[in-house]
Structures are given as structure tokens and as C-alpha cells.
């Protein structure tokens, strides 16, 4: 049996360690883009949303219908949530302003009756 000397000679009596074999990583295939999500399709969507009643009906159809792409369904659902939030905030603001207006009107009536000589 020969061993490795200081000069780097190989001894065949020693076992040779091979490098580990790694498998190539497996990547998922790139997802195909939905052809319905073109710029023109989004322009039509935004145009229809600008029409008062048609836009709301369009949002309901896209949000709860199954024929639109996933991105448009999520957009429609998010828009409907924002509409509901704005309706609730508008009602709260209306109630607060109506109450403060009624209080101001009562204050003006009381002030006027107190200042009017009898």
C-alpha cells in the first residue's frame, strides 16, 4: 500500500470519494396570461364603471359571474367593498350633519324667541 506523500502522489490503496450528484431543479411552467386582460378590455371596464347604473350592474356581473378572469373578479369584488364602505360612511355623515343641523336650528329658534320683546 502506498500513501500520499508530500509531493501529492496518489496511492491506489485509498478509496476515492466521488462528488455528490445533484438533480436539476424542476421549475413550474410559466402561467399563460389570460387573453381577456388586454389593455382594451381594461379600458372598456373602466369606461363601463363610469356609467352610473350600468357600472354597478357590470361590477355585480363580473364579481359574481364565472366568465371573467380572476383579476377582474377580484377587482370587481374590491370595488364593491369600497362602494359599501362609502355608502356606510355617507349615511353616518348624513346622520351627523342632520343632527347638528337640527340642533343649530333649535338654537337659532331659541335665540330668536329670547331676543324678541313681548
Output the pLDDT for position 88.
Answer: 98
Domain around 52: 39-115
Is the residue at 87 inside a domain?
A: yes
Output the pLDDT for position 10.
Answer: 57
C-alpha cell of residue 42: 381594461
How far is residue 82's CA from residue 104's CA, in Å, rounded to a whole number? 32
* Residue appearing with cell numbers 342632520: 98
How far is residue 49's CA from residue 56's CA, in Å, rounded to a whole number? 7
How far is residue 101's CA from residue 88's CA, in Å, rounded to a whole number? 20
> How do residues 73-111 score in pLDDT, each as one tens digit?
999 999 999 999 999 999 999 999 999 999 998 888 887
Is the residue at 9 inside a domain?
A: no
- Counting the structural domains of the chain, the total is 1
Is the residue at 59 inside a domain?
A: yes
How far is residue 68's CA from residue 79's CA, in Å, rounded to a whole number? 15
Amino acid at each position: 500500500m502506498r500513501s500520499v506523500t508530500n509531493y501529492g502522489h496518489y496511492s491506489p490503496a485509498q478509496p476515492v470519494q466521488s462528488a455528490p450528484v445533484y438533480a436539476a431543479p424542476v421549475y413550474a411552467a410559466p402561467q399563460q396570461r389570460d387573453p381577456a386582460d388586454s389593455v382594451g378590455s381594461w379600458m372598456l371596464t373602466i369606461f363601463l364603471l363610469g356609467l352610473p347604473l350600468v357600472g354597478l350592474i357590470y361590477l355585480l356581473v363580473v364579481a359574481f359571474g364565472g366568465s371573467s378572469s380572476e383579476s377582474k373578479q377580484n377587482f370587481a369584488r374590491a370595488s364593491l367593498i369600497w362602494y359599501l364602505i362609502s355608502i356606510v360612511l355617507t349615511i353616518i355623515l348624513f346622520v351627523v350633519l342632520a343632527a347638528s343641523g337640527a340642533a343649530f336650528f333649535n338654537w337659532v329658534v331659541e335665540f330668536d324667541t329670547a331676543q324678541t320683546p313681548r
